[in-house]
A and B are shown apart, each in its own frame.
Chain A
């Protein structure tokens, strides 16, 4: 799960990681009031779950409360990569605090090493993946044993990589230790400070905050679950979530409904292999009830680019007859459904074929044949 920058900063404060004062505003007037209260210039920052906000015009500097009001007015309601901005974060930017260095601190799980991986880089504010690819030597890494946890010497090592000044080293190692504590206590999957800055005063401070959480652990963190922002999801995302479907929309014109993540990816690959373009990834999961299939049909056919739908089922736990029943319900209740090509193999395949045949559907049994047929139909061929 992702959260907003302002929520991540609140969590930073809770774990004693220094941040600059900031408040959230949903109207231009609120942004103005906050700036008046701060008595210093501010940054007005769009709160959406995507990177590249600055480039998209979602972050503006304001010298005065009036400017902050104007900035908020222009940012609120903006569309950034498909997300509508309804909140801005107003962050104090005291001109007396002169930034003397920017660096990066990040914590992730290393799935291969089965350990935590803490990364530091003396270049802050940059795209860290870019640095990792082009100049991997610039990133300093420490692996932390899961059972042992982070030891103070490891925090010092990270801090010493970034700073020489003993006071800065002390501050930064405390920040690193606290970030680890946060990561572990809250079951994060990623925590980043980018940039971590030093001021002329000698203080070390987190200028930005990013935290992602492990969805699997949310059941034990009700405070984090409450931070979920439904506005950051499309109607289709929400529908998919409710029915426990994995759905990722794409650019093509052939809708896919498949059971199992690996087979769903493979179905997209097969379509592409034969010259078609998949419109989505959709995994209906293991025990797929007819209702799930109906929702899947609704999601896939809501994309107006979709010219044919390929249902590819290898029945193991999934029963082919459940899929067939769900498909018939969908065809009866939904309007404007593009032509559907069905491939069924496995558990209860025979019953499923009979159910479909009654409605004039001839289910195929080979995935590659079915994919080729779906491409032909999408190009205007006969069903």
Chain B
């Protein structure tokens, strides 16, 4: 098994005729993802790489039976695209788009909850269940099938971690990038609870960074609810306060949001925090035997 996506994932790409949408639709197809449809309003009847294009998500769902959507449309239209997906019977939305207004996200978040639709992102690289499915922009070839669940706020940082895991012989059940924005659909706790329930995941690597207090909340959650080993890594130990480090959410805004605070919190609940990425496999080995 894996979490959120697997062989049963049938994908629609919203914004498939854009530069990024077209490129990654092909990448996902090549990886083996079941990319069943694309949506760009006004372009029904065309196709990209043999993927049929529809005018609306509703049509794509009716005709191809897609259950998951990945969004590549520009920020000004991405909110509309997410409401459309949620209203058309899609159960998982992965939003790659960066630059969505935060207040729009607040309202969307409540709506999706009501509709029982899961959102991953926005401003995220997506997720991959190696050997089964890839939804997003992660480089498929660096991943291997295995028993480690990886959850990260940052894309390239998770690739670096996955790379060092693979070198040490550890594959992944699912690796998920939850996104660097202040308001996101799926947080660490959501991913942790699913990894805990997933019989193919034996241990979890949680990659956090400065800003907000999601890491602290997940530390409390781990203490109460997670019996599988968790190893962490926190980026931004040298970040100066008050400066936005690339991600909109990666900013030290006061007590509790520094790397030091987060590391101390994890350690206080028995979650080891690797000082270097290369030390993550060793910490896993100690716990997995």
Q: Which of B5-13, B31-39, B98-106, B190-198 contacts A (4 or more CB under 8 A)?
A: B98-106
Inter-chain contact B250/A112, CB cutoff 8 Å: no
A-chain residues with CB within 8 Å of residue B20 when the two chains form the complex: 287
How big is chain B's contact interface, by range?
35 or more
State which residues 166-188 of B face A: CB under 8 Å.
180, 182-183
Contact across chains for B235 and A262 when beta carbons are under 8 A apart? yes
The CA-CA distance from A242 to B183 in the complex, in Å, is: 26
Residues on A with C-beta less than 8 A from B237 are 269, 272
Rounded to whole angstroms, the CA-CA distance of A329 and B55 in the bound complex is 43
Judge whether B288 is part of the interface by a CB distance below 8 angstroms: no
Say whether A153 faces chain B, with CB atoms less than 8 Å apart.
no
Contacts of A146 in B (CB 8 A): 103, 106-107, 109-110
- Measured between beta carbons, the chain A residues less than 8 angstroms from B239 are 265, 268, 281
Q: Which residues of A contact B163 (CB under 8 A)?
A: 314, 345
Of all chain A residues, the one with the shortest Cβ separation from B103 is: A187
Asked if A347 and B106 sit within 8 Å, CB to CB, the answer is no
Interface residues of A in 255-274 (CB under 8 A from B): 258-266, 268-273
Selected interface stretch from A8-16, A118-126, A213-221? A213-221
User: Which residues of chain A are within 8 angstroms of B236 by Cβ–Cβ distance?
Assistant: 265, 269
Smallest Cβ distance from A168 to chain B, in angstroms? 30
* Interface membership of chain A positions 226-257, coded 1 if the CB is closer than 8 angstroms to chain B and 0 otherwise: 00000000000000000000101010000000
CB-based contact B137/A261 at 8 Å:
no
Expressed in whole angstroms, the Cα–Cα distance for A272 and B209 within the complex equals: 16
Whether A368 is near chain B, meaning CB under 8 Å from some CB there, is yes
Q: Determine whether B139 belongs to the interface, using a CB cutoff of 8 Å to chain A.
A: yes
A residues within 8 A CB of B259? 269
Indicate if the CB atoms of A316 and B255 lie closer than 8 Å: no
Which residues of chain A are within 8 angstroms of B100 by Cβ–Cβ distance?
216
Instruction: Provide the bound-state CA to CA distance between A266 and B138, in Å.
Output: 19
B140 to chain A, nearest CB (A): 10
B146 at the interface (CB under 8 A from A): no
Cross-chain contact of B183 among A111, A184, A217 (Cβ < 8 A): A111
Known contacts A214-B102, A261-B154, A262-B247, A314 near B159 by CB under 8 Å: yes
Question: A189 within 8 Å of B by Cβ?
Answer: yes
The chain B residue sitting closest to A346, CB to CB, is B139
> Min CB distance, A73 to chain B, in Å?
31
Chain B residues, Cβ within 8 Å of A281: 239, 243, 245-246
Q: Which residue of A has the minimal Cβ distance to B239?
A: A265
Q: B154 and A262: CB pair below 8 A? A: yes
Q: Does A367 contact B (CB under 8 A)?
A: yes
Interface hits, B258-289 → A, CB 8 Å: 259, 275-278
Q: What sequence of 0s and 1s flags, for each residue 86-117 of chain B, a beta carbon within 8 Å of any chain A beta carbon?
A: 00000000000001111110110111000000
> Which of B102, B137, B152 is within 8 Å of A217, CB to CB?
B102
B76 A219 Cβ-Cβ under 8 A: yes
Closest to A248 in B: B243
B138 CB contacts on chain A under 8 angstroms: 316
Residues of B201-230 contacting chain A, CB below 8 A: 207, 209-210, 212-214, 217
Pick from A109, A219, A261 the residue with the most CB of B within 10 Å. A261
A269 contact from B101, B180, B235, B254, Cβ within 8 A: B235
Q: Which residues of B contact A217 (CB under 8 A)?
A: 101-104
Determine if A109 and B156 form an interchain contact, defined as CB atoms under 8 angstroms apart: no
**When the two chains form their complex, are residues B155 and A260 in contact, meaning their CB atoms are under 8 A apart?**
yes
1/0 contact trace for A79-116 toward B, CB 8 Å? 00000000000000000000000000000010110111
A278 CA to B180 CA in the complex, in Å? 22
The 8 Å CB contact of A262, one of B111, B156, B248, is B156
Please pick, from A112, A116, A259, the residue contacting B212 in the complex, using a CB distance under 8 A. Answer: A112
Complex Cα–Cα for A272 and B238 (A): 7
Q: Is the CB of B213 within 8 A of A260?
A: no
A112 to B187, CA, bound (A): 10
Q: How far, in angstroms, from A264 to B180 measured CA to CA in the complex?
A: 13
The verdict on A132 contacting chain B, using a C-beta distance below 8 Å, is yes
**Does B240 sit within 8 A of A, measured CB to CB?**
yes
Please, which residue of chain B has its CB at the minimum distance from the CB of A369? B278
B160 within 8 A of partner (CB): yes
Distance to closest chain A CB from B136 (angstroms): 10
Per-residue 0/1 for A172-215: is the Cβ within 8 Å of any B Cβ (1 yes, 0 no)? Answer: 00000000000010010100000000000000000000000011
Q: Which residues of the other chain, A, contact B142 by a CB distance below 8 angstroms?
A: 316, 346
Q: Nearest-CB distance from B118 to chain A (Å)?
A: 15
Residues of chain A within 8 A of B247, CB atoms compared: 261-262
How distant is the Cα of A315 from the Cα of B155 in the complex, in angstroms?
11
The reply on A133 being an interface residue by CB < 8 A is yes
| Chain B residues within 8 Å of A147, by CB | 107, 110-111
**Interface, chain A (partner B; CB < 8 A):** 109, 111-112, 114-116, 129, 132-133, 145-147, 184, 187, 189, 214-217, 219-220, 246, 248, 250, 258-266, 268-273, 278, 281, 283, 286-287, 314-318, 345-347, 367-368
Question: Apart from A109-B106, A146-B106, A262-B246, what 16 extra A-B contacts exist at CB < 8 Å?
Answer: A109-B102, A111-B182, A112-B212, A115-B106, A116-B106, A146-B103, A147-B107, A214-B102, A216-B101, A261-B245, A262-B156, A263-B157, A264-B245, A265-B239, A286-B137, A287-B20
5 cross-chain CB contacts under 8 A: A114-B110, A216-B75, A250-B238, A263-B157, A367-B277
